Structure 1
Amino acid sequence: MSLDRFLPKTKETSVSLALAILNRIAPRIIDHSVFIGERIALARAWCLHLALQRYIADKEICSGEWSEEKEEKIFEALVTYASKIIERAILPEKE
């Protein structure tokens, strides 16, 4: 499923969301001093967010026992989603 259908429709929304990602989410992922519990909570929140949007097609990612592998998949999806939004925010609009 294409990620594009979940991206913001306007540049203004993309910029707002990109700033929110950079200011609130990225530091938590990058900061190695963050508690693992916070990382898992953040990953689970994003797991639900993405699953609700049907971006994560494999339902098993969001069910059952939590593992480092699942956490990595969620963070990979988060980084992909965030980078697409940030890219859309900084690139010039297509005419």
Structure 2
Amino acid sequence: MRSFETIFFDIGDTLVSQGNWVRGATDILDALKSSGVRLGLISNTGNLSRDQLQNHLPGDFRFDSFDDGLVLLSSEVGIEKPHLGIFLLAIQRAGISPWR
């Protein structure tokens, strides 16, 4: 079985859709976290601040559920997907190799 040390998710239509959790998303996040996998986010957020974005997410969505420094919102880092730069920044912050 292949092991992963870090997994990055997108918010929109991956974890959350139309302000609600995608079915099973919280269970998957909990299982990964409890098995020691570091969790991150890479998401295009337009010009919304983190606080403004929070208003569009489920009430129990917490950015601090993800590992420190591994939440990359385009509105904060100034790079949007699919630009390679946001992914390179993510792996740099995670301290991992993209080839592993």
Under a length normalisation based on structure 1, what TM-score does the superposition of the two structures give?
0.30
| Higher strand proportion (structure 1 or 2) | 2
Structure with more relative contact order (C-alpha pairs < 8 Å, separation 6 or more): 1
Q: Which has the higher helix share?
A: 1
Larger Rg: 1
